[in-house]
Structures are given as C-alpha cells and as structure tokens.
Amino acid sequence: MNSTPTPPIDLRSDTVTQTSPGMRAAMAGAPVGDDVYGDDPTVNELQRVIAERFGFETALFFPSGTQSNLAALMAHCGRGDEYIVGQDAHTYRYEQGGAAVLGSIQPQPLENDADGGIALERIAAAIKPDDMHFARTRLLALENTMGGRVLPLAYLRDATTFAHTHGLRTHLDGARIFNAIVKSKLDERTAVAGFDSVSVCLSKGLGAPAGSVLLGSQDVIAEARRWRKALGGGMRQAGILAAAGLYALEHNVARLAEDHDNAAYLSVGLRDLGLPVVPPQTNILYVDIPARHVAPLTEHLLGRGIRASVAEHTRLVTHLDLSRAQIDAALRAFREYPGW
C-alpha cells in the first residue's frame, strides 16, 4: 500500500500556505506579553523592524489585512468623509463595504486603468468642492500589487503628490507589496514613498498564518490603535503570531521570485493549451475558461488533487507551498481534461 500522501496543489490563493517547521519553532519560542498594554516584546519587535524597513515612524500589528485597512481608513477619515478608491480595490469590493458600514466613510469608487492605477484626471474630477452638499474628500487609497499587477513607480509618485497637493491623504493597501518590491527590485522605502499609511500582509505570499501590519506616523497609528480596539483587534499574547511575521520577513521575501517564475511558467503552459491567459507580472494570473467547462473542469482538477477557483475569468495564484513539479502536475491535469 502506498501511504505517501500526495501534496495538495492549491491554486486558489497564496493565503493557503502551511506554517513551516522553522516558522513554528520561532512561534513556539517567542517571548510574549499582553499586547493591548503594549507589553508583548515580539509584537513590539515586529512593529519596530517593519517600520524601520519601510521608513515609517511606527507600525501596528493587526490580525488581518481587512482590519488593518479599515482602521487606516477610519484613522484618516471621520464620519461623513469620503475616500477615493478603485472599483476593483479590495477595500471597496471585497471587504463588505466596511468603510461605509462600520466607518461611516463614503467611498467614491473610480474605474481602474488596465495597469491597476486610477487616472489622475478621474481623481481630480471626483474631489468634491468645499460645499455643504458634498462629503469631504479626504483620502486616496491605492493597492499594490493590484490583481497581481505592479503599479508603476512614476504613477505612484504622481498620484501621491497629486493627492497631497489637493489636500488628500494617501493610503496603500500593500497586502502584496513584497511581490511588487521583489518584482521591481526596489527597496521597501522607495516602493511606498508618498503614502501616509501602508497595510502590509504577512499571511499572503510570506507564509505566516495570520497578521498584517499598518505603517504610519505616530498620530495616524495612535488613531488606528484606538479603532483596532473598537473593531475587536486588540490581541493579547499576539507575539506567537508576530514571531511568524518576523520569521517570514527574514526568510520568505526574496523567494517570492520563485512564485513569480512559477506563475509565468504556468501561464505559458496554459497558453500552449490554447487558453487565453493574461501573462502575470507577479504570482497571480488570470485565464479565461469557457462557461461550459467551469463545473466539469473543477471536478476533473479536484479528482487529481488540484484545487482551483475555476470561473469564466479564473484567478490562479502561486505560493511557497507550490513547487515547479506541482505546477507541472497541474498543467498535466489541465492538458488531460477530456472536455477541451
């Protein structure tokens, strides 16, 4: 009997990674304290290290990227204020409208350009005049990477300068900022220059089980710390999770290049099958699957131990728990689908 388990091939997201033995050892050995009192040395160390690395005054650890983004929006905007955001942005589209529902902040969604940015003319046209009929436009929120695309550095400079010139603050959802950094070979400080706050996720491509960090000035983070507590994100001995984040920062950043190579390799293989693929810039690729194949292809892949969110516009994501051999196995399964 063959008892060797087949390693799962999960292309749904880079959030599916298992905690590695080294990371678990770091977590088990972490000194901890009550972080609501600011007493957790490992959380404090993570916040210090990451703030230093990105060139911010300070940082704050959160359980999730959703909460980190929301606390940032609430730190920048008060009740009845407005933030400008892309139609496709996570904070607008995939966080249940938390800014409006929980923050009393009106979103002003604008169409995203093909490269993931928002045209400055559209931003200019959306900024409301100082008039009691309008919400006060306070903030521009961008995302990098955006659906796996790296926003051009020149655009980020122009957009943040433009926002500041017009009296807006700037927030970056940098859930996958390290993918952008590795892809564009930038240093952390250059990659986020011009933003008043940045949310960085540790539990996407970096492989930590949970955790995001919000970067900002002392004032912004003091406000975000208050909101974090109200939102239920005040964790106690959170150093166990912060230790995973520190481990991830040390061991799992440079290797993101492998995920990018694997995504490129996967996209070429799918294209060779005649499928329309958008060539990936980082670890996320999109492939169009005709509607009639969605359900049977999902079943076929599952039968071969492959999990994928197959849809007409399918997103496939590579990560540290996917080797080149597993990508080959996935490609084989796509090739052997009898329905093509």
CB of 150 to ligand PLP, least distance (A): 13
Closer to ligand PLP by Cβ: residue 172 or 240: 172
Tell me the closest approach of the beta carbon of residue 273 to ligand PLP, in angstroms.
27
What does the DSSP 8-state code read for residue 152?
Answer: P
Q: Among residues 212 and 269, whose Cβ is nearest to ligand PLP? A: 212
Asked if omega into 6 is within 30° of 0 (cis), the reply is no
Which residue lies nearer to ligand PLP by CB, 10 or 143?
143
Q: Which residue is nearest to ligand PLP (CB)?
A: 65
Residues forming contacts to ligand PLP in the complex (CB under 6 A) are 64-66, 69, 90, 143, 173, 175, 201, 203, 212
Give which of 159, 70, 73, 66 is closest to 113, Cα–Cα.
159
Q: How far apart are CA 195 and CA 192, in angstroms?
A: 6
The residue whose two tokens read 């516009």 is: 313
Residue 15 CB, nearest approach to ligand PLP (Å): 6
Neighbours of 329 (CB within 10 A): 17
Least distance between ligand PLP and beta carbon 274 (Å): 29
The letter for the amino acid at 306 is I
Q: How far apart are CA 267 and CA 143, in angstroms?
A: 23
Nearer to ligand PLP (CB atom), residue 101 or residue 124 = 101
Which residue number, 62 or 334, has a Cβ lying nearer to ligand PLP? 62
Residue 128 CB, nearest distance to ligand PLP (Å)? Answer: 26
CB of 12 to ligand PLP, least distance (A): 11
Nearer to ligand PLP, 179 or 333 (CB): 179
Q: How far is the CB of 327 from ligand PLP (least distance, A)?
A: 21
For residue 223, the SS3 value is helix
Whole-angstrom distance, CA of residue 263 vs CA of residue 267: 6
Q: Give the contacts of 74 (CB within 8 A, at least 6 positions apart).
A: 99, 102, 103, 105, 223, 224, 227
Give the pair of three-digit tokens for residue 53: 């690395």
φ, ψ (nearest 5 deg) of residue 217: -75, 170
Nearer to ligand PLP, 138 or 204 (CB): 204
Report the candidate in 157, 215, 162 with the shortest Cα–Cα distance to residue 186: 157
- Alpha-carbon gap, residue 70 to 197, rounded angstroms: 12
Output 64 or 184, the one with its CB closest to ligand PLP.
64
C-alpha span between 12 and 310 (Å, rounded): 9
Please, what is the minimum distance in Å from the beta carbon of residue 212 to ligand PLP? 6
- In angstroms, the CA 320 to CA 48 distance is 26
Q: How far is the CB of 290 from ligand PLP (least distance, A)?
A: 26
Nearer to ligand PLP, 285 or 333 (CB): 285
Report whether 59 contacts 228 (CB < 8 A): no
Give the Cα separation of 74 and 59 in Å (integer).
16
Helices (H), 38-95: 41-54, 65-76, 90-93
